[in-house]
Amino acid sequence: MIQKRYKEAFERASAERQEKILEVGIEEFSNNGFENANINVIAKKAGISIGLMYKYFSTKEDLFITCISRGCNILENALDEIMKSDDKLLVKAEKVIRTTCYHSKKNANYIRLYNEITSEKNPTLAKALAEEIEFSTSRKYISSIAEAFAKNDVRQDLEPRLFAFFLDNLLMSLQFSYTCDYYRDRFEIYTGINVDEMDEEKVVSQLLKFIESAFTFEK
Amino acid sequence: MIQKRYKEAFERASAERQEKILEVGIEEFSNNGFENANINVIAKKAGISIGLMYKYFSTKEDLFITCISRGCNILENALDEIMKSDDKLLVKAEKVIRTTCYHSKKNANYIRLYNEITSEKNPTLAKALAEEIEFSTSRKYISSIAEAFAKNDVRQDLEPRLFAFFLDNLLMSLQFSYTCDYYRDRFEIYTGINVDEMDEEKVVSQLLKFIESAFTFEK
Amino acid sequence: MIQKRYKEAFERASAERQEKILEVGIEEFSNNGFENANINVIAKKAGISIGLMYKYFSTKEDLFITCISRGCNILENALDEIMKSDDKLLVKAEKVIRTTCYHSKKNANYIRLYNEITSEKNPTLAKALAEEIEFSTSRKYISSIAEAFAKNDVRQDLEPRLFAFFLDNLLMSLQFSYTCDYYRDRFEIYTGINVDEMDEEKVVSQLLKFIESAFTFEK
Amino acid sequence: MIQKRYKEAFERASAERQEKILEVGIEEFSNNGFENANINVIAKKAGISIGLMYKYFSTKEDLFITCISRGCNILENALDEIMKSDDKLLVKAEKVIRTTCYHSKKNANYIRLYNEITSEKNPTLAKALAEEIEFSTSRKYISSIAEAFAKNDVRQDLEPRLFAFFLDNLLMSLQFSYTCDYYRDRFEIYTGINVDEMDEEKVVSQLLKFIESAFTFEK
DNA sequence: GATGAATGAGGTTTCATTCAT
DNA sequence: GATGAATGAAACCTCATTCAT
C-alpha cells in the first residue's frame, strides 16, 4: 500500500467533500495531464479555497497521487468480486473483460489518469505507483491462473505469471482504447470500428477467442 | 502522412544539423515529457541558438511532432523487411517480436516518446499522430494476417483486424516494459523478472506460445 | 515603558500559559526571524489554538513585541543587582562583562531576538523598542559613570554619556558574538577563536584592559 | 572571496545596468529587509523585466548576496587607502573613524543592508557572508595593529587580534548608529544627541579618547 | 473561554516566444 | 542565415487572520 499522501485534515473533512475533491481532481488531471492541471481550478471546482486545499494536501503531486489511489480502489473492488468466485478460468476471464469494458466507460477519467501515470518520469514515484496499482490486481490474476494451472485447466508450457502479464496487457490496452484519444484512434485504425458505436459483444467475444486458445491449446 | 511541422528553413539545414536537433529533441522529450522539456535547453544541446530553432519550428509542439515523425521512420523500416517476406505468419510473428525487443533497447528514447504521445489530450493532434504512427504498421499486420486467413492458416472465427489489434497490443506493451519506468516496474510485479537481467529468449517463446494458439487453434 | 501589546485575555491566562507562549515565541522568532516565524506554529507548540492566540494578541507583531518585553526584564534584573552596589567602576565593569557572558549563553534566544529587533524598519516601532530596551540600562550605566566622574575616578575629558555608549557597544557586540551565527563567525575571523571553545577568562580580561585605560588614563 | 552569485548573463550586461540593478537592490533590501523586498519591484525599478532578472540571478538570495558584495567593495577600497599609509596607528584610527562616518552617510543603504545580514539564520550562508565581508577588513586592522605592537607602539598586554575585534565593534556600532532606525534611537537615548544634528567632531574626538588609552596606556 | 477550519492575497520562479541586430 | 537578450503571463504555495461553533 502506497504511503498516504494526504494530511490529517483531509481525513477530518466530510466524506462528500473528500469525494468531491478527488472526483474533480481525477477529472482535471485526466483532462489536462499532471503539468497542465491547475490546482487553483481544482480547488474552485471542488468548492474550497486554495488555502484549504493545501491544508489537505502538501503538494500538487500529493493530490494527484491521492486521486490515483481513489481510482484504484474502485476498480479493485469490482475485480475482487469476480476473482473470489470458483468459476472456471475462462468464465472468470469473460467476466473480467466485461467488467473492464463497463468500468472503462463508467470511470473513463480514472483510466485516462492511469494512462497519465504510465509516463511518469520519476523512477521512485513510478515504482511506488506501480506497486500501488498493479500489485493487488496482478496477484489476483496470477493466483487464479496458477490454480487453473495446477488443475491442468491451462497449457502447462505457459508460466502463470507471464500468462497473467500478457492477459493484463490486453485488458489494459482495451481500457485505454475506450478512454484515451490516442488509443481510440488507434483502435479505429486497426479495427475500422469507432469505439463509441461499436458492437461490444463482438469485441468481447473476439478477445475471448484470442486468449482462450492459450488456455486450452493442444497441438 | 502527418502534415509536416517544420519550416522550410529546416529542410535547408545540413543533414547533420537536422539529425542532431531531432536526436536531442527525442532525448529531452522522452526524459522529461513534453511539458517539462525545455526548448531553450534543446537548442543549446543541439548547438544552435533559440532564435534559429524558431526559424526551423514554429512552436514547441511542432518540434515535438517532428521528433516523433523521425522516430517513426526508424521502426517502420525494420518492420517492412519482415513483412514483405513470404514466411508463414507464425515465423513472421517471431521475427517481429525479436525485432521489437531489439529496437526497444536500441531506440529506448523513441519508445518512451511514443508512450508520451499516447496521453496526448488534444483530440485533433491525437488523431493526426495516431494516423502517422499506427496506420502504416497496422496495414502491414492486417494484410499479413488477412493473407494467412485466406490461406486458412489461422482461425477462421477471428477477424483479421481485431487479431492484428490484439497482437499489436501485446507488442506495444512489451516495448513499454522495456523502456518506461512505470511499465518496467509493472513487468517485474507481474513476472518477477527484472527487465535488465531477463532471459529474453524465454519471454519471446512464452509470448509466442501465448499467441500461436490463436493462429492455429482447433477446438 | 512600551505600550502593552497584549489583550486583556492574556492577562487572565494562567502564569504558566503566559510563560509558555512567550518562551515558544522567543524561540521561534529568534530561530527564524520575524518574517519566517509562523504564528500558527507558535500556537501549536505553545499548546493553544490559533484562535486563542488571537484572543491574546491582535497581530503577529504584538506577539513579537510582547516576547521582546519579556526578554528585556530578564536581563535588566541581573544588571540592577550589580549597578546598585558601591563597587568602583572598574569592578562593576568586570561584573557586567561576566554577567553579559553568562546571560548570553543562558538566554541566547533572547539575544538573537534582540539582534532581530535592531533591523526593524518601522521607525515608530523602532523608537518604541529602543526606549523599552535601552532606556533603563543606559540610565544605569550613565549614572554609574557620572558618579565615578564626579569622584574623579575616570578621565575628565570623556563625557559620561558617550562613555556609556561606547561601553555598551562593546558589550552588545560581545553578546551577539556569543549568540548570532554571523557574529560568531565574525568573532572567529577577527580573533581566531571559536566561541564555543574559547577561554572566556582571557576575553574578559582583554576587554577589561581595552576599556580600563579609558577609566584611568593619564597622558 | 565569496563565490559569485550571478549568472554569466549579468556579466554581459552593460556596466550601467549592472550598477542600476545593484543600486536598486541595495535600496529595496535595506528598506524592506530580505523577506519583504519584492523582486518584481526591484526589476521594475531597475527598468528590466522579471524574466531578465532571473537570467541574471538564479534566486532572490543570489541577487541579495550580489548586492552585498557590491556594497563591500565600496567600503573596502576606502579602507585600503588608509591602511597602506605609514601613519602611526592612532592617526590611522582617526582616519578610519572619519571615513566610517563619511561612508555611513554616503552609503547608508549599504550599511543598513549589512545590519540585515547580521541576523542571517542560515549558518552556511552566515559563514560565507562573514568571510566575504569581514575577512579582508579584519586582516588590515590586525596587521596594522600587529605592526604597531611589534614597534612597541601599543600596550603589550593586549593581543592584536582581540584589540582589532574590539575596535571594529566600536566602528560597526557607530555605523549602525548613523543608519539604522533602532540604533539611531539607541544612540540618542545614550548620548542625548540626535544623529542628524550631531557635532560629529565631538563624537570622533571622544571615541578617539576612548580608544587611545588602549594604545598607549601605562599603569 | 476555546477551537481550528477556512480564506485569499501576494510573491517567487519558469519558459515559450519575439525581435532587433 | 544566425544570435541571444528580453518579455511577461501564469502557477504553485504560504500564512496571517477571521469567525462560526
pLDDT along chain B (219 residues), means of 10: 84 94 95 94 96 96 92 81 86 93 93 93 90 92 91 87 96 96 97 95 94 62
Candidate from B173, B181, B206 with C-beta closest to A159: B206
**Chains B+A touching (3+ CB pairs under 8 Å):** yes
Residue C113: exposure state from Cβ atoms within 10 A (0-12, 13-18, ≥19): buried
Distance CA D101, CA D175 (A): 7
Q: 534611537: which residue's cell?
A: D185
Q: Which CA-bearing residue is nearest the C1' of E19? A: B51
DSSP character string of A120-131:
---HHHHHHHHH
Strand E and A55 CB separated by under 7 Å: yes
User: With an 8 Å Cβ cutoff, are B162 and A203 in contact?
Assistant: yes
Find the residue in D nearest to C125 (Cα): D182
Whether residue C127 lies inside any domain: the answer is yes
CB B99 within 8 A of CB B137: no
Strand F and C39 CB separated by under 7 Å: yes
C-alpha dihedral, C142 to C143 to C148 to C150, nearest 10°: 110
* Interface-testing mutation among C29, C165, C215, with chain D (most D C-beta atoms within 10 A): C165
Which chain D residues 182-211 have CB under 7 A to strand F?
Answer: none
**Residue B117 three-state SS:** helix
Q: 580600563: which residue's cell?
A: C212
Between CA A51 and C1' E3 the distance (Å) reads: 19
User: With an 8 Å Cβ cutoff, are C209 and D35 in contact?
Assistant: no
The set of cell numbers assigned to B124 is: 485533433
Q: How many CB atoms lie within 10 A of CB B192?
A: 12
Report which of residues D167 and B77 the model is more confident about.
D167
Domain that holds residue C59: 8-216
Distance CA D105, CA D117 (A): 19
Between CA D52 and C1' E17 the distance (Å) reads: 14
Find the residue in A nearest to B167 (Cα): A170
User: What are the Cα distances from residue B4, in Å, to B8, B16, D30?
Assistant: 10, 19, 55
Domain count, chain B: 1
Neighboring chain B residues of A212 at a CB cutoff of 8 Å = 217
User: With an 8 Å Cβ cutoff, are B210 and A158 in contact?
Assistant: yes
pLDDT in tens, C137-187: 999 999 999 998 898 888 888 899 999 999 999 999 999 999 999 999 999
CB A189 within 8 A of CB A180: no
Question: What's the CATH code of the domain at B195?
Answer: 1.10.357.10
pTM over 0.85: yes
Between CA D63 and C1' F3 the distance (Å) reads: 27
Q: 499516447: which residue's cell?
A: B118
pLDDT in tens, C7-48: 999 999 999 999 999 999 999 999 999 999 999 999 999 999
Distance CA D206, CA C214 (A): 10
**Residue D3 three-state SS:** coil
Provide the pLDDT for residue A212: 82
Distance CA A171, CA A99 (A): 10
Distance CA C209, CA B135 (A): 93
CB B64 within 8 A of CB B34: yes
Distance CA B22, CA B26 (A): 6
The helix-helix angle for A60-83 and A39-46 (nearest 10°) equals 60
Whether residue D192 lies inside any domain: the answer is yes
Exposure string of D110-146, with b = 16+ CB inside 10 Å and e = fewer, is bbbbbbbbbbbbeeebbbbbbbbbbbbbbebbbebbb
User: What are the Cα distances from residue C124, in Å, to B52, C2, C151?
Assistant: 57, 12, 39
The stretch C112-141 carries a mean pLDDT of 91
Distance CA C123, CA C150 (A): 36
Q: Which of B126, B8, B142 is nearest to B64 (CA)?
A: B126
Which residues neighbour D206 within 8 Å (Cβ) at sequence distance 6 or greater?
Answer: C158, C159, C162, C163, C166
**Residue A203 three-state SS:** helix
Q: Is the pLDDT of residue A219 over 50?
A: no
Q: 496482478: which residue's cell?
A: A138
Residue B204: exposure state from Cβ atoms within 10 A (0-12, 13-18, ≥19): middle
Between CA B206 and C1' E15 the distance (Å) reads: 47
CB D71 within 8 A of CB D64: no
Q: Which CA-bearing residue is nearest the C1' of E20? A: B51
The stretch A160-168 carries a mean pLDDT of 95
Whether residue A1 lies inside any domain: the answer is no
The set of cell numbers assigned to B112 is: 518512451
The stretch A102-115 carries a mean pLDDT of 93
pLDDT in tens, A2-30: 678 999 999 999 999 999 999 999 999 99
Distance CA D171, CA D148 (A): 19
Q: 470500428: which residue's cell?
A: A193
Distance CA C118, CA C120 (A): 6
Strand E and C16 CB separated by under 7 Å: no
Exposure string of B51-61, with b = 16+ CB inside 10 Å and e = fewer, is ebbbbbbeebe
Bases on strand F under 7 Å from any protein CB: 1-20
Which residues neighbour C27 within 8 Å (Cβ) at sequence distance 6 or greater?
Answer: C109
Distance CA D49, CA D41 (A): 10
Distance CA C109, CA C70 (A): 12
Q: Which of D24, D106, D115, D31 is nearest to D63 (CA)?
A: D24
Distance CA C105, CA C100 (A): 9
Whether residue A2 lies inside any domain: the answer is no
The stretch C186-190 carries a mean pLDDT of 98
CA atoms within 13 A on the CB side of D216: 10
Strand E and A41 CB separated by under 7 Å: no
CB B59 within 8 A of CB B123: no
DSSP character string of D31-57:
HHHHHH--HHHHHHHHTS-HHHHHHH-
**Residue A3 three-state SS:** coil
DSSP character string of A61-93:
HHHHHHHHHHHHHHHHHHHHHHHTS---HHHHH
The set of cell numbers assigned to D96 is: 578610519
Single-letter code of the amino acid located at D141 = Y
Single-letter code of the amino acid located at D3 = Q
Neighboring chain B residues of A141 at a CB cutoff of 8 Å = 190
CB D178 within 8 A of CB D105: yes
CB B95 within 8 A of CB B86: no
Strand F and C60 CB separated by under 7 Å: yes
pLDDT in tens, C50-98: 999 999 999 999 999 999 988 887 778 888 888 888 888 889 999 999 9
Single-letter code of the amino acid located at A203 = V
Q: Is the pLDDT of residue C217 over 60?
A: no
Strand F and A51 CB separated by under 7 Å: yes
Q: Which of B77, B30, B19, B21 is nearest to B176 (CA)?
A: B30
Whether residue D202 lies inside any domain: the answer is yes
Provide the pLDDT for residue A213: 72
Provide the pLDDT for residue C112: 94
Distance CA A35, CA B38 (A): 14
pLDDT in tens, D119-142: 999 998 899 899 989 999 999 999
User: With an 8 Å Cβ cutoff, are B185 and A158 in contact?
Assistant: no
Provide the pLDDT for residue A155: 84
Neighboring chain A residues of B212 at a CB cutoff of 8 Å = 217
Find the residue in D nearest to C137 (Cα): D190
User: With an 8 Å Cβ cutoff, are C181 and D32 in contact?
Assistant: no
Distance CA B84, CA B106 (A): 23
Strand F and A82 CB separated by under 7 Å: no
Interface A–B counts its CB contacts (< 8 A) at 176
User: What are the Cα distances from residue B103, in Å, to A83, B72, B115, B191, C190?
Assistant: 37, 12, 15, 21, 65
Whether residue A65 lies inside any domain: the answer is yes
Which residues neighbour B107 within 8 Å (Cβ) at sequence distance 6 or greater?
Answer: B71, B74, B75
Sign of CA dihedral D122, D125, D129, D135: positive
Q: How many CB atoms lie within 10 A of CB D198?
A: 16
Candidate from D119, D170, D209 with C-beta closest to C33: D119
State how far Cα A167 lies from the chain centre.
14
Provide the pLDDT for residue C180: 96
Q: Is the pLDDT of residue C206 over 80?
A: yes
The span from the first CA to the last CA of chain D, in angstroms, equals 42
Neighboring chain C residues of D209 at a CB cutoff of 8 Å = 155, 157-158, 214, 217
Q: 482447433: which residue's cell?
A: B218
Whether residue B163 lies inside any domain: the answer is yes
Provide the pLDDT for residue B219: 46
Whether residue C1 lies inside any domain: the answer is no
Distance CA B173, CA B166 (A): 11
